[in-house]
Structure formats: structure tokens, C-alpha cells
Homo-oligomer: A and B are copies of this chain.
Amino acid sequence: MTNTLPRRIGRYALLLPGLMLVPSAAFAQDVSPEMFTVNNTWMLVATFLVFIMHLGFAALESGMTRAKNTVNILFKNTAIIAIGLLTYAIVGFNLMYPGDFSLGEFVGFAGFGLDPGAEGNTSAYNPGYTYYTDFIFQGMFAATAATIVSGAVAERIKLGSFLIFTTVYVAIIYPIAGSWKWGAGWLDQMGFYDFAGSTLVHSVGGWAALAGVIVLGPRLGKYVDGRIRPVAGHSMPLATIGVFLLWLGWYGFNGGSVLSADPALVSLVFVTTSLAAAAGVIGAMAASWGLQHKPDLSMVLNGSLAGLVGITAGADTVGVMSAIIIGFVAGLIVVGSVLGLDRARLDDPVGAISVHLVCGVWGTLAVGIFSTNAEHSFLTQLISVLAYGVFCFVAAFIILFALKALLGLRVDPEEERVGLDVGEHGMEAYGGFQITQA
């Protein structure tokens, strides 16, 4: 690996002349050992917070689906974090932050494996964090994109095919897409802004989720004789634990995306993130009470996630009131989207497409509306949304289609009826409990 540039160069290119986007006057290139240590410590705290999100996804997805598919979902989520971290160490990190691009500004690769290189694991690498901190923080992000897919395709996808899809998507598609902005690629140079990944993480996962739902088709018995049959999740406490842990993890996801412990920026991000999540809850509560005439817990839970996804692109560049509006609108949108996708016969068991794709798009465009930075443009945001959509949807569709042809993508109907836990894993999630759900 020969690159000598800091990671996430597209965000804060502290060392790169001509791209001097210093986040705060307090943080010059030459930081004191004390400042470097506190910056790096915060980034590691953010790292373990993002790690918690994987438990959040596992709990949310299994709680929102049926007991007979729980082991399968838990297995997938445990495998995803492992696959995500290892592939990111081997190729992903160096695809996402290539230093130099070899295919225009679309693809670059800095070589296999991890290597601190000449600057070592020190503040010369980046005044906000060490090389290894950079890798592990970004690595935790990478795996979340695949997890988003997991929920949407739950209860019917073959385990083996899903794991292969995850490996390819996280190792290659996610980092290449990411390099366009955070790796200083073509969209970064166009002025696209995505603070912590409404598009780069959530929509990238969301487009693949959409492709998966289309290629797989709905679960058996979901749409019968032109009617939508609700499929109740088997554990609302588990789903709620999942959502709160995701919210918690978001303090690292957004807070760590400041890429330093800069007090002004990190605290602003905490506030915008918190208030957007809260407003998302209220927005979804209003929409659900209005449209469904009952306050729906799963809608309210998705409302908080909608607010969080919505604020992610602009958490450091919008005001407090804007954050509340962005979150509230996201809460309204997610309810409409969940109901709308069902009408369109797109069966997403956990609402992943609505939360991560639809609200990810909303959040990215919202930067063009609400940003306090005059250089952020709605048009550039829109172009970027479309660019990611085309690339990720097509890439995911091709991979899934190839897997369908080669290995098969969907379990057979009998296994789907019995449940993937017995079918794929030969075990039950709740030994001893009587469960009657179809």
C-alpha cells in the first residue's frame, strides 16, 4: 500500500492542499499529544457505539418477524459483522479510500490488507485518529449496509446465497460507492455532501434491499386474493430493544463522523441527531394515529429510525429547528412508505426499504434544503442520489440474479412454511415454548 493520504479524505482533507476543509479552527494539523489522544479516544468510543448497532439490527429484525425464522436472522447478523470486518480489512478499506483513483475517479485500490505505512499509527496519519482507529471505525460502518438488506429479505432467502451476496456487496460494491464521496472521488469533487451516510450507508443498503425484495418476491401468504395479510412480529420487546440500541449506536455513527472530538461539532451533532429521532417518533405517531386510527408501536419505532436516517446526511450542517423538521417529515414519510410498499406488493418484513432507502433519500435531499452551508446544492444532492441508486440497485440486482441462477435464492415453500430455523439450522429459537404462529 503506497498511499500517504489520510482516510475519509473527502470529508476533511486536513493534509491535502486545495481541499482544506478544517472542521474547526481549534484543530490545526499539528495537534498536541493530548488533543490527539482525546480525538482518538472519542473515535474509538464512536466505534464501539457503531458496533452496538449490529446487535440493534439483530434484535429489531428478529423481533419484527416470526419465531420460526429467528435463529436464521440471528445467525445472519452474527455472520455479517464477521464477514464485514474481515473483508473490509482485506479489500474494502483500500477500495473505499484508495488515495489515487485508477479508473477515472470511480474506482481505485490501494492494495490488499492493512498497513499503517510510512506515517505509522500516529498523528502524522491524521490528527483526529490513528490508522487503526480509522480502519476499525470505517469497518464497523461497512457491515451495517449488508445488515439493512438482511431485514428486507428475511423469512425466505437461502442462507448460503445471502452470505455470498453479503460478502460481495460489502467487500466491493459498498466501498466503491463510498469512495465516490468519502474517498474523494467524483461526487465529492462535484460538491456532494453526505455527513455520515444517509446515502453512502443507508441508501446503499436500501437499494440492495429493494432489489432483494423484487427478485425474491413476497413471503407465502402475505398477499392472498388481492388482500394484504399482516404478519405480526413475534416479539415487540426484542424489536424495541433493537431500536433503542440503534438510536444509541447512532451517537457514534453521527458523532464519530465529525472525525474528531471537536466539542462544538460533536455536541451539535448529538443535539440534531437526538431531536430528529424524537421528532421522527412524533411524526410517525401522528401519521399512524391519523391513518391507522390506532397508535402503532412498530410505526413509532420505525419513526425514530426514520428521523435518525433522515438527519444523518446533514447532522453537522443544519440548525436545531431544521433537524426537528427533517425528523418529523421522515416520521410521516416512513408510515406512508410502509403502507405504500405493501400496496405495491413489495414485501419488506421490517420496513427496511422505507427507513433506510426512502428516508435516506429524504435526508440527502434535505441537506440541499436546510443546510446552513451555501455551497450545498439541492441539484447536486439529487444527482448523487440518482447516481447511487443506479449503481447500487443494478449491482445488487445482478449479483442476486446470478445467485438465483447458480445456487437458487429462495428456500422451497415447505421450508418457508416450517421456518428457516429448522430448515436451515436444525434448531428452534425458543426451545420449550409453545408457538402457534403460521
Does A117 sit within 8 A of B, measured CB to CB? no
Does A58 sit within 8 A of B, measured CB to CB? yes
Do A236 and B70 touch (CB < 8 A)? yes
Main secondary structure of the interface of A (DSSP, over half): helix
**Copies of this chain in the oligomer:** 3
Question: A328 to nearest B CB, angstroms?
Answer: 10
Do A427 and B82 touch (CB < 8 A)? no
Q: Which of B121, B295, B304 contacts A267 (CB 8 A)?
A: B121
**A322–B59 Cα gap in the complex (Å)?**
32
Does A202 sit within 8 A of B, measured CB to CB? no
Does A227 sit within 8 A of B, measured CB to CB? no
Interface string of A41-65 (1 = CB under 8 A from B): 1101101110110110011001100
Question: A37 to nearest B CB, angstroms?
Answer: 5
Known A122-B264, A241-B59, A248-B51; contact A430-B304, beta-carbon cutoff 8 A: no
Q: Which of A94-152 contact B (CB under 8 A)?
A: 113-114, 120-123, 129-133, 135-136, 139
Do A62 and B237 touch (CB < 8 A)? yes
Q: What is the interface residue range for chain A against chain B? A: 35 or more
**A66–B238 Cα gap in the complex (Å)?**
16
Does A195 sit within 8 A of B, measured CB to CB? no
Question: A163 to nearest B CB, angstroms?
Answer: 9
Do A428 and B268 touch (CB < 8 A)? no
Does A318 sit within 8 A of B, measured CB to CB? no
Question: A269 to nearest B CB, angstroms?
Answer: 9
Does A89 sit within 8 A of B, measured CB to CB? yes
Does A201 sit within 8 A of B, measured CB to CB? no
Identify the 5 closest CB pairs spanning chains A and B, nearest first.
A432-B437, A232-B431, A82-B281, A55-B244, A40-B263
